[in-house]
Structure 1
Amino acid sequence: MIRAVKAELIKTLGYATFWVLISLHAILFLLVLTIANKATLNFNGVESNILLSKPYTWGTVAWLASWFNLILALLFIILCGNDFLFGTYRRGLLDGFSRNNLFKAKLSLLMLIAIYVVVLVTLIALFATPVLSSWENLLTGYGYILVLFIQMLGYFSIALLIIVLTRNIALTIIVYLLYFALIEPIIRLFLPDSAAQFLPVKIISNLTPMPDFLGIMAKQFSQTDSIDANTLNTIDAINNSTSLTQNIVVACLYIAIFIVLSYFTFKRKDF
Structure 2
Amino acid sequence: MIRSLKAELVKLFGYSTFWVVIAMHALLFLMVLLIANNATMNLNGVETNVLLSKPYTWGTVAWLASWFNLILAILFIIYVGNDFLFGTFRRSLLDGFSRNQLFGAKLSMLTIFAIYVVVLVSLAAFIATPVLKSTSSLFVSYKYVLVLFVQVIGYLTFAMLFVVLTRNVSLSIILYLLYFALIEPIIRLFLPDKIAAYMPVKIISNLTPMPDFLGIMAKQFSLDQQNVSDSTLNAIRGLNDAPTLIHDVGFAIIYIILFAAVSYYIFRKRDF
Q: TM-score range by the shorter chain?
A: over 0.9
1:160 matched residue in structure 2: 160
Secondary structure (helix, strand or coil) at the match of 2:139 reads: helix
Instruction: Please tell me whether residue 90 in structure 1 is matched to residue 90 in structure 2.
Output: yes
Q: Is the 8 A contact 2:18 2:75 kept in 1?
A: yes
Q: Partners in 2 of 1:83 and 1:12 — Cα distance?
A: 11
1:235 matched residue in structure 2: 236
1:149 matched residue in structure 2: 149
Q: Is the 8 A contact 2:211 2:240 kept in 1?
A: no
Number of residue pairs matched by the alignment: 271
Residue 20 of structure 1: how far off its partner (Å)? 0.5
* Structure 2: tracts of 5 or more residues without a match: none
2:62 matched residue in structure 1: 62
* Structure 1: tracts of 5 or more residues without a match: none
Residue correspondence of structure 1 range 116-127 to structure 2 within 5 A: 116-127=116-127
Q: Partners in 1 of 2:127 and 2:89 — Cα distance?
A: 41
Residue 202 of structure 1: how far off its partner (Å)? 0.1
Q: Partners in 1 of 2:237 and 2:246 — Cα distance?
A: 17
Q: Partners in 2 of 1:196 and 1:212 — Cα distance?
A: 24
Aligned residue type for 1:236: R
How far does the alpha carbon of each residue in 1:65-117 deviate from its partner, in whole angstroms, 9 at most, with x for none?
A: 00000111111000000000000000000000000000001111000010000
Residue 221 of structure 1: how far off its partner (Å)? 3.2
1:52 matched residue in structure 2: 52
Aligned residue type for 1:263: Y
Q: Partners in 1 of 2:115 and 2:78 — Cα distance?
A: 19
Secondary structure (helix, strand or coil) at the match of 1:102 reads: helix
Residue correspondence of structure 1 range 14-25 to structure 2 within 5 A: 14-25=14-25
Residue 215 of structure 1: how far off its partner (Å)? 3.6
TM-score, L = length of structure 2: 0.95
Secondary structure (helix, strand or coil) at the match of 2:163 reads: helix
Q: Is the 8 A contact 1:164 1:265 kept in 2?
A: yes
Residue 239 of structure 1: how far off its partner (Å)? 1.6
Residue 231 of structure 1: how far off its partner (Å)? 5.1
TM-score, L = length of structure 1: 0.96
Q: Is the 8 A contact 2:93 2:99 kept in 1?
A: yes
Secondary structure (helix, strand or coil) at the match of 1:218 reads: helix
Q: Is the 8 A contact 2:76 2:159 kept in 1?
A: yes
Q: Is the 8 A contact 1:197 1:203 kept in 2?
A: yes
1:190 matched residue in structure 2: 190
Aligned residue type for 1:5: L
Aligned residue type for 1:91: R
2:270 matched residue in structure 1: 269
- Aligned-pair identity in percent equals 66
Aligned residue type for 1:242: P
Quickly say closer, same or farther: Cα 1:24–1:232, change in 2 above 3 A: same
2:220 matched residue in structure 1: 220
Quickly say closer, same or farther: Cα 1:102–1:136, change in 2 above 3 A: farther
Q: Partners in 2 of 1:179 and 1:44 — Cα distance?
A: 36
Q: Is the 8 A contact 1:77 1:159 kept in 2?
A: yes
Quickly say closer, same or farther: Cα 1:264–1:39, change in 2 above 3 A: same
Quickly say closer, same or farther: Cα 1:92–1:32, change in 2 above 3 A: same
Secondary structure (helix, strand or coil) at the match of 2:138 reads: helix
Please identify, of 203-212 and 187-196, the stretch whose mean Cα deviation from structure 2 is larger.
203-212
Q: Partners in 2 of 1:89 and 1:138 — Cα distance?
A: 45
Q: Partners in 1 of 2:224 and 2:243 — Cα distance?
A: 30
Secondary structure (helix, strand or coil) at the match of 2:54 reads: coil
How far does the alpha carbon of each residue in 1:201-254 deviate from its partner, in whole angstroms, 9 at most, with x for none?
A: 000011001345344223223323434677545432332132211110000000
Quickly say closer, same or farther: Cα 1:238–1:22, change in 2 above 3 A: same
Q: Is the 8 A contact 2:221 2:233 kept in 1?
A: no
1:133 matched residue in structure 2: 133
2:249 matched residue in structure 1: 248
Residue 42 of structure 1: how far off its partner (Å)? 1.4
Q: Partners in 2 of 1:260 and 1:138 — Cα distance?
A: 38
Aligned residue type for 2:91: R
Q: CA RMSD in A?
A: 1.5
Instruction: Please tell me whether residue 76 in structure 1 is matched to residue 42 in structure 2.
Output: no
